[in-house]
Amino acid sequence: MVKQVPTKDASILGIMRTAAFSTGFKEARAGKPIRYEAYEHDANGQWNYERGRMLGLIFTGPLKVGRAINRGAALHFSVAIHQKIIL
């Protein structure tokens, strides 16, 4: 049996600020297929990449305004997590 890896809490903005999330978001918006091998040696990176892709498919606005996370994107991401659309 595989042991569960240790977990820790992460904030919405903390997740959204990662390079993996941004890459996933941009690739989904560009219509690129998912890269299954992306971040294969980084479990958190994989999760964030996939979360970014999912947000990129349901949110039509920009991820960032300047260097800051777009508040609308953060709101959509938060609601999608709350509604279990994104895990």
Q: Domain coordinates of the chain in residue numbers?
A: 12-82
Residue 31: how many other CB atoms lie within 10 Å: 7
Prediction pTM value? 0.88
pLDDT tens digit string along 13-47? 999 999 999 999 999 999 999 999 999 999 999 99
Residue type (1 letter), 54: M
Whole-angstrom distance, CA of residue 75 vs CA of residue 41: 30
How many angstroms separate the CA atoms of 48 and 24, rounded? Answer: 8
Tell me the pLDDT tens digit for each residue of 42-87: 999 999 999 999 999 999 999 999 999 999 999 999 999 999 999 8
Q: Identify the DSSP state of 64.
A: E
Residues paired with residue 69 on neighbouring β-strands, in sequence order: 64
